[in-house]
């Protein structure tokens, strides 16, 4: 039964899960850019996100590939505060996906 109602429900939840993670990553990315220390703008421009999914899970990440991003986060946090200030939004997005 390839097209069973269960398979359709699982695929629907997976799509919702991926969309929720994408939405959360975009919010955290935007706030990270607002919080980011700026000298030349390179760090701010480099902040991006990525979402990866398989049938069992979806993972999202927000960050930068510039060499000094870690140092900047340790001295003038911009990523952690972006997550912290959006904690309730993240929780609500998860609840939306888990609520039938």
Token pair 């939306």 is found at 96
Start-to-end C-alpha separation, the chain: 23
Using 50, 70 and 90 to split pLDDT, how confident is the model at 2?
low
Residues 6 or more apart in contact with residue 44 via CB below 8 angstroms: 33, 36, 38
Q: Where are the domains of the chain?
A: 5-98
Phi and psi at residue 68, to the nearest 5°? -95, 10
**Alpha carbons 58 and 56: distance in angstroms, whole number:** 7
Average pLDDT over residues 30-38: 97
Dump pLDDT digits (tens) for 39-54. 999 999 999 999 999 8
Question: What is the pLDDT at residue 70?
Answer: 96
Query: For residues 41, 43, 45 and 47, what is the CA-based torsion angle, rounded to 10 degrees?
Result: -160
Dump pLDDT digits (tens) for 54-85. 888 999 999 999 999 999 999 999 999 999 99
Quick one: tokens of 53? Answer: 């999914």
Dump pLDDT digits (tens) for 6-33. 888 888 889 999 999 999 999 999 999 9
């Amino acid at each position: 039964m390839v097209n069973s109602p269960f398979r359709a429900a699982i695929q629907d939840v997976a799509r919702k899960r991926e969309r929720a993670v994408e939405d959360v990553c975009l919010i955290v990315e935007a706030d990270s850019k607002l919080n980011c220390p700026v000298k030349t703008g390179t760090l701010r421009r480099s902040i991006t996100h990525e979402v990866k999914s398989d049938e069992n899970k979806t993972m999202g990440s927000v960050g930068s590939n510039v060499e000094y991003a870690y140092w900047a986060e340790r001295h003038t946090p911009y990523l952690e505060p972006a997550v912290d200030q959006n904690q309730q939004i993240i929780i609500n997005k998860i609840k939306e996906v888990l609520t039938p």
